[in-house]
Amino acid sequence: MKTKRWLAIGCAVAVLLTAAIAMGCLRLPFEQAAAVDAADYGLVLADRNGEVYVLAVEENSSASCAGVEPGDVVASLDGNPTDSVSAFQRVEKSITSSPVMVVHRRGEPMSVFLKNP
């Protein structure tokens, strides 16, 4: 019974923290947060310790349709490593076809196929 209670409390805390982050009431310790051409892929990314984190994914965007989720870490875009938001943006500007993005989710790599608009 105590396990269920702690699980319920943990879930409630997670929901409240997620809502606070989404509403801007709570800031995460990221060095930089920037919307990365939301009209194209629908991602909000942030740099932290040489990695690019997905902070948000726009509904019905190319990224959401491909299965990208907040919390994913972007490892590469179209075969090019992305260790910063600016590196992601540089690669993104040079892409002419639908790119493959490699993300890490809970430490496991996965490839997602993005559609160009």
**How far is residue 109's CA from residue 105's CA, in Å, rounded to a whole number?**
6
The two tokens of residue 105 are: 């989710």
Q: Of 107, 78, 71, 108, whose CA–CA distance to 94 is shortest? A: 78
The pLDDT averaged over each successive group of 10 residues in the chain (117 residues) is: 60 55 54 52 86 88 91 92 88 84 93 84
The two tokens of residue 14 are: 């997670």
**How far is residue 86's CA from residue 77's CA, in Å, rounded to a whole number?**
12
Determine the distance from the C-alpha atom of residue 29 to the mean position of all C-alpha atoms in its chain, rounded to a whole number.
15
State the architecture of 31-113 in CATH terms.
Answer: Roll (2.30)
Q: Which pLDDT score is estimated for 38?
A: 44
Which bin fits 50, alpha (ψ -120 to 50), beta or left (φ > 0)?
Answer: left
3-state secondary structure of 102: strand
Q: Which pLDDT score is estimated for 49?
A: 83
